[in-house]
Amino acid sequence: SNSDKNELPSDKYNWLVEHSSIKAINEFNRFISSKGGKLVLFAPTPEYEISIEQCKPNWFRPHQNKNCTKTIEQVKKEKSEVYFLINSHLDKTILVYNPLNDICFQDICSMIDKQSKPLYVDDDHLSDYANSEYLFPGFSSFLKKQRLL
């Protein structure tokens, strides 16, 4: 939609460009590549406007709060500027792992899994459980597909 690589849809992520963060990432990638390595970045994970405590099932709260879930499409829309930056400003040789398929199920992202175990420790940080049970297997598979493991 926006063909000028130096303009972003809003000011929210301008700090990345203005403070030369993108340039530094690309330079770091060239350095890593020159040593035979590969740079891998994580695409964003869902963020919520609600506490994980409000999503844990309790006897006094038998139904899950609707704010504890989002569709993958909602997440992609909310993070569209980050995806724009990744796709338009980063070197194409940088690998990007998208964790959504590993922490979202049947196109629904949730703060808790099917066993009612928390995937988050707060509104935007994944729990150790989520990392070990969901991200680690998915990320390992991604690395194997890229022949990095």
Query: Is a pLDDT exceeding 80 seen at residue 149?
Result: yes
How confident is the model over 6-55, as pLDDT tens digits? 444 456 666 666 657 888 999 999 999 999 999 999 999 999 998 888 88
pTM of the model: 0.80
Q: Quick one: angle between helices 80-89 and 21-34, nearest 10? A: 50
Joined tokens for residue 75: 């997440």
- Res. 1 pLDDT band, cuts 50 70 90: very low
Query: What CA–CA distance (Å, rounded) separates 48 from 67?
Result: 7
